[in-house]
Amino acid sequence: MESAFDQSLSRRAMQAELLDAETELELAYAWRDRRDEKALHRLITAYMRLAISMASKFRRYGAPMNDLIQEAGLGLMKAADKFDPDRGVRFSTYAVWWIKASIQDYVMRNWSMVRTGSTSSQKSLFFNLRRVQARLEREAAAMGESLDRQVMRQRIAAEVGVPLHDVEMMEGRLSGSDFSLNATQSSDEEGREWIETLEDENAQASENVEQAKDIETLRTWLVEALSSLNERERFIVQERKLRDDPRTLESLGNELGLSKERVRQLEAAAFGKMRKKLESQSKEVFEFLV
């Protein structure tokens, strides 16, 4: 049901001027070449009735009408911004695609918390699956056929031109709306909530303690290995491997007065010393780090 705001907006749109081809072209040139905002406003206002008309065709998807109109208006503005009057096409013809695309994107974004689809084939399937299925069912009934679900899915996939698994996925998306994880699994008020059946992915307390201990041990090994290096080698390792934004061989070479190749050699030698230091401490330590 339309709100008072929607009805008022529709009335204003219906009262807007009708542009002839010549006037439309003048406004389009004024906006494209001079960024004349008055021309843009006049062009948008004149075709807002088209945007509202197209928005009304998507009401069955459950979105508020004022939101659909807003998205249609955004599509209309994109069309005006990208329209090339030199192409010889009427603005209304060009705008239809942008308005429809904007509304469809909004409907799909808000249909479910789970992303419904993003490719052009998935979008086509979303908006045509029920219609194609109903037609195929009518045709099968007229021929006395009885189609099982798998055959129906295969025919829908062939008709829309999408993979079979896309049809199966979209059927699940369209089968019902989202449900709260706090809803109970039965009508009993004391029933367990669905969220209680989800596995807790957070680490357990014992795992946190073990992880903290391992990190501290690794830190100790690293400090001891670095202590085996001279000051220049330690600086290179720290700048190359221990920074959030590692430096390049070239930048270090410029600072140290060395060639890039020489810095690479020093880095490799430093890693060799650290490896020997770790191996000398314990074979298990070296194997753990490798």
Residues 131-173: pLDDT tens digits?
888 888 888 888 888 888 888 888 888 888 888 888 877 776 6
270 and 231 inside one domain:
yes
Q: Is 53 part of a structural domain of the chain?
A: yes
68 and 91 inside one domain:
yes
Find, among 91, 70, 80, 69, the residue nearest to 25 by Cα.
91
pTM of model > 0.75: no
pLDDT of 206 over the 90 cut: no
Residues 246/240, Cβ–Cβ less than 8 Å: yes
pLDDT on residue 185:
52
pLDDT of 114 over the 50 cut: no
pLDDT on residue 74:
93
Distances (CA, A) of 228 to 42, 194, 224, 250: 76, 56, 7, 25
Domain interval for residue 13: 4-111
Q: Is 194 part of a structural domain of the chain?
A: no
CA distance 212 to 284: 19
The last residue of one of the domains, among 111, 136, 159, is 111
| DSSP structural state of residue 60 | G
The last residue of one of the domains, among 111, 129, 150, is 111
41 and 58 inside one domain:
yes
Residues 136/201, Cβ–Cβ less than 8 Å: no
160 and 99 inside one domain:
no
19 and 86 inside one domain:
yes
102 and 129 inside one domain:
no
Place of tokens 């219609």: 131
Q: State how many domains the chain has.
A: 3
152 and 211 inside one domain:
no
Residue 125 corresponds to which amino acid? L
Q: Is 185 part of a structural domain of the chain?
A: no
131 and 164 inside one domain:
yes
